Structure 1
Amino acid sequence: MESQSYSSPVEPPDAPREPILTLPGALTAYIALIAAIHLRVLLPVDLENWTIDVFGFIPKRYDSTLLNITFPGGAGAKVWTFVTYSLLHANLSHIGFNILWLLPFGSALARRFGPVRFFVFMAVTAAAGALAHLVTHEHAIAPMIGASTSVSGAMAAAIRFAFVKGSFLSFHRGDADAAAKVPALSLSRALRNGRVLGFLAVWFGVNIIFGLGSISIGSEGASVAWQAHIGGFLAGLMLFSLFDPVPRAMPHAADASSPDEPGRV
């Protein structure tokens, strides 16, 4: 395959170059939606608690073997809460922590996928995280809320192309759109890439430490649903190819660990 680079070696002086961290419209809309929904905290306490019960993910809602508890929302809540819980947050620090991680990874993914794919992907990874939480907390009554599972999925999907030469975590990158649309690594190649493996080790280590250590983030007394994070992360890592509109890299394509010659991508 002929050598190509993602930005022309000679560009007109006035050629627009978009900063890597400029927010795409889809991510801006996602963050705005989360912020608007958080205005529920202005409701009376009883009504605010009702919204958590109706739209938060409660494993006990699906359990009919023990004490019979009726939750608001009826049968419909057994369906929509697989996604709606991810749009609810405990407080502003909870929102801020998730947005902090979305800025680099979510921006790249939204540019790559486009709005429709991005929103569906975030919903699918939220559902995967909820399923992992249900399997590991089948009798839990406490609601799970927060976008961390979808954020985890976005991070996992982004590392499939983040370290490829020209992308946003490589040493050689162009503007934001070009960095987001480099050909991705296959799953098998990604799992043989040293930078990807290092990222995976750190990510899983941090989540397990936070989970087993009962360290809370964003809400006093609230524990980290680390199993749900892992569920969302694995879904993002494995389902990325189903959403990716960019043609796959050839097996010999250069990545960030290659020498500094022009990439063959």
Structure 2
Amino acid sequence: MPAYVIVVLEPPRLAAHRREPILNVPPVITVLAAVMLLIQLIRDWVDLETGVEILALFAFIPARFDPSVLAEGVLPGGMAADIWTFVTYAFLHGGWAHVGLNLLWMLAFGTPVARRFGVLRFLLFFAVTAAAGAALHLVTHEGELVPMIGASAAVSGCMAAALRFMFAQEGRGAWRPGLMENAVHVPAPPLMEVLRDRRVIGFVAVWFVINLAFGLGEPAGIVDGSIAWQAHMGGFLAGLLAFPLFDPIRRWPGGDPYSRATRH
């Protein structure tokens, strides 16, 4: 495809956002990080029995949904826990290295997504992608007793969402500093157009290969130190496909999709 130059027309308010440093973390990311760190601190502080109870109540355990594996009432929380564990598992981690790595990725990819979506949309998006990861893990690990924990599925959803708009401003031009930050305020191209971008194809291919490599090496389940790669893929696919449902920026009617933006 021939190279082309796109002139971006934006009001002063959007131009001002260009001068914001990329590490100016949105409050919602800071709060989520603080909650995860606090939970990890509490889990390190409590005794072993209490720690197991926390996992039983808030981790995602596929055996909850298989009556042939566990008798009703063995795991705490009942039907309510059957629902909330689709999200609460994302706030638990297997150790400081685990939570630290997830927070680094959330800082990198969650920051631009949170700026684009706003607080409420981002929190809902985080919950939906976490739930999607848990759902795919459930399908592939029916009756599994090992609890799954970690924010990786939601973080993978943020990666996918960022791919939907990170190259939008300059079309198929080369990467340059500040690209992600500027693209936060630009309408995203359709999914099929995004998937034709070689940079996106390369990123997705490498991401899937890495996850498959980890997954083929050992069974999923974070508590025993292995990787719940199916949950990663579930969160990623949910973020990629559900992005338009959360995106507040729409194309200007009758105009160039990359030249103007409006929020609803």
TM category (shorter chain) comes to 0.7 to 0.9
For 2:188, the equivalent position in structure 1 comes to 184
Q: Report what 1:202 is aligned to.
A: 206
User: Which residue in the other structure is 2:51 paired with?
Assistant: 48
Whole-Å separation in 2 of the counterparts to 1:215 and 1:232: 18
- Structure 1 residues 23 and 30, CA gap change in structure 2 (3 angstroms): same
Task: Give the one of 19, 38, 51 matched to 2:40.
Answer: 38
| TM-score (normalizing by structure 1) | 0.84
CA–CA distance in structure 2, aligned partners of residues 228 and 176 of structure 1:
26
Q: Judging changes above 3 Å, is the alpha-carbon distance between structure 1 residues 170 and 109 closer, same or farther for their aligned structure 2 residues? A: farther
222, 245, 248: which is aligned to 2:248?
245
Gaps of 5+ in 2: 1-5
Specify which of 89, 111, 115 is matched with residue 119 of structure 2. 115
Partner Cα separation in structure 2 for residue 87 and residue 135 of structure 1: 21
Distance 2:255 2:54 in 1: 49
Amino acid at match of 1:244: D
- Tell me the SS of whatever aligns to 1:159: helix
- Matched with 1:23 is 25
Work out whether 1:229 is the aligned partner of 2:241.
no
The 1-side partners of 2:69 and 2:160 are apart by 36
- The count of residues paired between Structure 1 and Structure 2 equals 250
- Note the 1:1-265 alignment, pairs <5 A: 3-5=7-9, 17-41=19-43, 42-66=45-69, 68=71, 70-165=74-169, 171-172=175-176, 174=178, 178-214=182-218, 221-248=224-251
Runs (5+) with no aligned partner, structure 1: 255-262
Identity among equivalent positions (%) equals 46
The alignment's C-alpha RMSD in Å is 3.0
Change (3 A) 1:108 1:251: same
Q: CA deviation at 1:179?
A: 3.5
Distance 1:215 1:137, change over 3 A: closer
1:111-162 CA-to-partner distances (Å, cap 9, x unmatched) read: 0001100111000000000000100001100100000000000100110011
- Identify the structure with the greater helix proportion: 2
TM-score (norm 2): 0.84
CA distance in 2, matches of 1:205, 1:177: 27
